[in-house]
Amino acid sequence: MRDLHIPDRPRVFVTNGLCATSHPLAAKVAIDILQAGGNAADAAISAAVLLGICEPQMTGIGGDCFALVKPAGTEKVHALNGSGRAPKALDAEALRATGHTAIPIHGAEAVTVPGAIDAFCALSERFGVLGLDQVLAPTIRYADEGVPVAQRTAFDWANDAGTLQGVARDYYLFGGSAPNVGQVFRAPKQAEILRRVAKNGRAGFYEGAVAEDMVAGLKSVGGVHTLDDFFNTKATWHDPIEADYKGTTLIEHPPNGQGATAMLMAGILSHFDLPSMDPWGVARAHLEAEAAKLAYDARNRFVADLDYVTRLDHMLAPETAAGLAALIDPTQAMENPHALSETVHKETIYLTVVDKDRMVVSLIYSVFHGFGSGIASPEFGVLFQNRGAGFTLEKDHPNEAAGGKRPMHTIIPAMLKRDGQVCTSFGVMGGAYQPNGHARMLTNLVDFGLDPQSAISAPRSFADSDGLNVERGYKAGVRQGLADLGHTLVIPDTPIGGAQMIAIDHDNGVLEGASDPRKDGCALGY
């Protein structure tokens, strides 16, 4: 039990239905949908779409989503890939010929066709029990009436406002500036789009006036997108990938997401005696940083569109994790993980909902960087993601940019199983951090026995190209110890990621929810 003298969020216990996400209005809407007769799929869609109004710098209908779904009455988990594809006319060779060595992050070249709306329609059709008109009604109302800007949202909005360009500045800025906390943001044009989707399904977005507006807006800034690219967008269903960690099964979405990276990182960490370590000490943070370097190097080599991945089995093989674990020096930070591992072969919302019948949905939804590409359509103000920045321009790489292809994605939902039953649904926001975040949540729960809220609230660290990012929650002595091992320490201005979690106590019929204090949201149930 946590020390009640130290401020933190309380653990949330309910018996019927629960939603944990990054904005309280979205959590409330999800519970309203459940109490109106909807199930977890309906509630997840309703909450997710509203988050595009509550946190437009993080997500929106111009973005992508992934979901894991466990229907009521079964323990089988389904994976829904709602990531869009590059326009058919995108040509990596042509981009290289014009001098590009990477996809321009804030250019039309980075805009893949938004896949989220088709995914929400597919999820509703297969598993929902309410109509889209009822599920989308709360967001339509809030988009028209407006939502007060919350504290973390205002912080991110100000940081990311410089990304906005052209008409996007008119839709997402207040007199040229980011809003202050408590200012009301309205998006009546998005309400109109959602009315069309509520009435006509996916055709309300991928056909007709809305699609024509999106294509025209992209073409005006050099895009090669066509109406056929939008019309042909289709979410796809898959089997998830699974890996054992000390008797707990980690369930991830298959590529093009980076769930395999989380699995590999967990596999590497399984070769060390984490429970013997201080969870917030030097040894654990060092090992996690080294495991991340190696796992992410593998990601950069292998993860791509599922139709192009060739080494997934190798990446997930136990002997690969064992070989990489053997490369870690507990006394010294590695300088070049790419060279070592040759011997062995950004902005997002997350939500999870569990209903009274124990349908479980783990859903993540994003425009990638803050405000995505920064490009919006002129008539309806659809803000486009920049997921194409996840491609590489390296020739013959499995993740090389190509027309009709899905890029490597950072966003990943997760679940855990124990004794054959789904016992936890969770996700971690924060771009590249997400696989590291999944491994940390897993080890916090399994190795250190933390409850969901403690697992989320605890301090985080993350090794990336800038060095080892260490939140201020770590003690000065730990930071010094990590520096002594050769890590370049960075204390980031922005907290590392965010997370939400629901644990299912099958024996007692209780749901436990947890929500990250780094975000504006909460866990709410009934």
Domain extents for the chain? 241-347+414-525
Can you tell me the distance from the alpha carbon of 444 to that of 439, in angstroms, rounded to the nearest whole number?
Answer: 8
DSSP state of 113: P
Return the ∠ at Cα 121 (arms to 115 and 127), rounded to 5°. Answer: 125
Beta sheet of 64-70, edge-to-edge order: 236-238, 78-82, 64-70, 360-368, 347-354, 18-21, 522-525
Angle (deg, nearest 10), helices 259-269 and 282-302 = 140
Cβ proximity of 127 and 71 under 8 Å:
yes
22 contacts 349 by C-beta, under 8 angstroms: yes
SS3 state at 156: helix
Q: Tell me the two tokens of residue 156.
A: 């991110």
- Alpha-carbon distance 203 to 363, whole Å? 23
Q: Running DSSP on this structure, what letter comes out for residue 390? A: G
Record the pTM.
Answer: 0.95
CB neighbour burial string for 204-233, b if at least 16 within 10 angstroms, e if fewer: bbbbeebbebbbebbeebebbbbeebbeeb
- Rounded Cα gap, residues 327 and 508, in angstroms: 44
308 CB contacts (<8 Å, ≥6 apart)?
398, 399, 405
- β-strand pairing of 467-470 with 489-490: parallel
CA distance 110 to 92: 12
Measured CA distances, 76 to 11, 16, 49, 70, 73 (Å): 28, 21, 26, 6, 9
Q: Are strands 64-70 and 360-368 parallel, antiparallel or unpaired?
A: antiparallel
Report angle CA 302, 304, 307 to the nearest 5 degrees: 115
Supply the pLDDT for residue 443. Answer: 98
Tell the CATH topology of 241-347+414-525: Glutamine Phosphoribosylpyrophosphate, subunit 1, domain 1 (3.60.20)
pLDDT tens for the chain, 526 residues long, are 667 667 788 899 999 999 999 999 999 999 999 999 999 999 999 999 999 999 999 999 999 999 999 999 999 999 999 999 999 999 999 999 999 999 999 999 999 999 999 999 999 999 999 999 999 999 999 999 999 999 999 999 999 999 999 999 999 999 999 999 999 999 999 999 999 999 999 999 999 999 999 999 999 999 999 999 999 999 999 999 999 999 999 999 999 999 999 999 999 999 999 999 999 999 999 999 999 999 999 999 999 999 999 889 999 999 999 999 999 999 999 987 765 544 444 668 999 999 999 999 999 999 999 999 999 999 999 999 999 999 999 999 999 999 999 999 999 999 999 999 999 999 999 889 999 999 999 999 999 999 999 999 999 999 988 899 999 999 999 999 999 999 999 999 899 999 999 999 999 999 999 999 999 999 999 9
Structure confidence at residue 466 (pLDDT): 85
